[in-house]
Amino acid sequence: MKTIDDIYSTIASNINSVIKEEWIAAALDIEAIGEMVSFTGSYVNKNDQKQQLDVDQFDFDLTFDILELQKITTEDDRNRWNRAIFSLQSDGEFDIQFIWDQELHDEVIRLSKE
């Protein structure tokens, strides 16, 4: 079982591995619903241009790491979240924001009943 720090390091490593130019900052948007995880993201290159992260190139195991992170951080039904934003600076500094998106939750429930 990975620690939270291990998972944060893995997220940062995946972001670093798909950016093929000098960059300033990146943001990865994460949705975690049940056993499903999706990613979108972007970064700002050294010319201050926003570019898309090629999340299709991420290591497949990152999905399982995110599910593990959600399990660890929501133990005892505290701190529930279904979205997160992982912000990474090129110098390695990072921040993560956990978000409960009620609309997303309601949509998943609605679709599961169809």
CATH number of the domain enclosing 24: 3.30.500.20
Residue 85 pLDDT: 99
Residue 84: pLDDT band with limits 50, 70, 90? very high
Domain that holds residue 57: 4-112
State the chain's mean pLDDT as an integer. Answer: 94
Strands 83-89 and 50-52: unpaired
What is the pTM for the complete model shown?
0.91
- Split into its structural domains, the chain has a count of 1
Q: Is the pLDDT at 20 greater than 90, yes or no? A: yes
Quick one: which of 14, 21, 33, 17 has its CA closest to 86? 14
